[in-house]
Amino acid sequence: MRTSARRAPSRALRTLLAACLLALVPGCASDAPAPLVVLGPWTGPEGEAFEAALERLDDGTGRTYSYQGTRSLRETLVSQLEADDPPDVAILNSIGELTEYARRDQLMPLTGEAAERAYAPWAPTLLVDGGQRTYWVPLKVDLKSLVWSKKATPDGPDVDPEWCVGLASQATSGWPGTDWIEDILLHQAGPTPYAEWATGRLSWRTPAVQRAWTTWARLLGTRSADSVERSLTTSFEGTAASGARPRGLLDSPGFDCTHEHQSAFIRYVYAGDDIRVEPSARFLDGNAEYRDTYEVAGDMAAVFSADPAAQELVERLSSPAGRERWRAAAGPAVRPLFPGTAGLAPVTPANPAEREIDSLLHSRARTLCFDASDVMPPELRDAFHRAVLEFFRDRTQRRLASLLRQLDAVRVRAEADWADDRTFRPPEDICARPGG
């Protein structure tokens, strides 16, 4: 049986030390438990809203919570695991990383109602020792297959978009480009080849995958050397004056562009009524059969501690009441999207863009597929990010062929590694009908 119990002494020691310190303070109970530590990706207004929701989750349990928000989530978590001092709960957006942690016995399987909220495709079960187990649950989700433009921009089948591209994102630069490749492949080839490719069962050198890259190159059009460098060094958020909120690529100086391919989360920089958002399908040279298929992402909560209160925390965070608290604490621009609306009171959209996103995610989508690069093993995902940056600089067929050979070699190594583990298999069911 796989278990994370070996980490319990470290957590118990921390609790004991906290209790001893409290005992030295007049009026403090000596048996007060240490706060549960939650590590997550949200900072700024998003982090403040989530922290406010945590503070409202006490419900008479007597537990308190300490939230650590960081943009360097993977590096922080790896460092904590190496020090044998993991958080009680961590919130990650990568199924590939979560799968690796589960494989290394660093996650506790979810129990109770939290396990029942492992909505597809965000939280597929894993096959462990012959049985199915659930290791994480989505708290917040995002819709990815979207295109943004100004309402004043001419629109129609005869209009050729000038695409905004900002590929910089600190340690994870390149992911806005991988989103392009993934979305194109999904709409050209459909969910089955997409899932096979994302889970390592389809070669990067197959015609369908190659076509996705070349389609992206064609859509980008001819770009000057200065324009290429600007896109490689500019954040996906666009530029901003010192200390000001990012303006988004559509509003950034130096970007003479009309359309942006970006996830629903970018609405926090486009909070006005002058922005139009629509499904990406008609822009991608795709198959009409997959018009109502969408790529999605998510932030999933996983338990790294043997403390039962960590399981209870995930259960409350993923509950309708927990969602309502979070939504109430968040401003309109950072209001979270959830995997389904069961048990939630209706909310008035902040603007037409939010209304359209909600309709697509919860009413009009026929199939949802999880972000492919976030399904891949971390080493393959990172190689994909780097390859996109290199291809953006040099979009020749010769360069593409070399990059795809390199990516396929990483895929084969990852598959060989999995072949040695007969007791644990990564997920394959990353596409599903909307549910929740």
Find tokens 């490689």 and name the residue: 232
Mean pLDDT of the chain: 89
Using an 8 Å Cβ cutoff, are 81 and 106 in contact? yes
Q: Which two tokens stand for residue 368?
A: 């949802």
pLDDT at 2 over 50: no
18 confidence band (pLDDT: 50, 70, 90): very low
pLDDT of 248-296, one tens digit each? 999 998 888 999 999 999 998 987 788 999 999 999 999 999 999 999 9
How far apart (Å, rounded) are the C-alpha atoms in residues 318 and 39?
16
Measuring CA to CA, which residue among 106, 96, 92 is closest to residue 200?
96
Q: Specify the domain boundaries for CATH 3.40.190.10 within the chain.
A: 5-142+298-347
Q: Does the pLDDT of residue 15 top 70, yes or no?
A: no
- Quick: pLDDT tens for 160-202: 999 999 999 988 999 999 999 999 999 999 999 999 999 999 9
- pLDDT for position 36: 94
**pLDDT band of 19, cuts 50, 70, 90:** very low
**pLDDT class of 8 with cuts at 50, 70, 90:** very low
Residue 217: φ, ψ to 5°: -60, -40
Q: What is the DSSP string of 305-372?
A: ---HHHHHHHHHHTSHHHHHHHHHHS-GGGPPB-S--TTPPP---SSHHHHHHHHIIIII-SEEEE-S
Q: How far apart are CA 262 and CA 147, in angstroms?
A: 6
Instruction: Report, as an integer, the average pLDDT of 298-325.
Output: 95
Q: Distance (Å, rounded) from C-alpha 268 to C-alpha 290? A: 28
Q: What is residue 94's three-state secondary structure?
A: coil
Measure Cα distances from 143 to 38, 45, 190, 262, 273 in Å: 25, 20, 17, 9, 19
Give CATH for domain 5-142+298-347: 3.40.190.10
- 249-261 burial, b for 16+ CB within 10 Å, e for fewer? bbbbeebebbbbb
The model carries a pTM of: 0.91
Is residue 102 within 8 A of residue 126, CB to CB? The reply is yes
Q: Can you tell me the distance from the alpha carbon of 73 to that of 54, in angstroms, rounded to the nearest whole number?
A: 19
State the fold for domain 153-294+370-430.
D-Maltodextrin-Binding Protein; domain 2 (3.40.190)
The b-or-e profile of 49-79 (16+ CB within 10 A means b, else e) is: bbbebbeebeeeeebebebbbeeebbebbee
| pLDDT of amino acid 241 | 66
Q: Report how far residue 123's alpha carbon sits from residue 301's, in angstroms, rounded to the nearest whole number.
A: 10
**Confidence band, pLDDT 50/70/90 cuts, at residue 347:** confident
Q: What angle do CA 375, 381, 383 make, to 5 degrees?
A: 160
The pLDDT tens digits for 92-133 are: 999 999 999 999 999 999 999 999 999 999 999 898 888 899
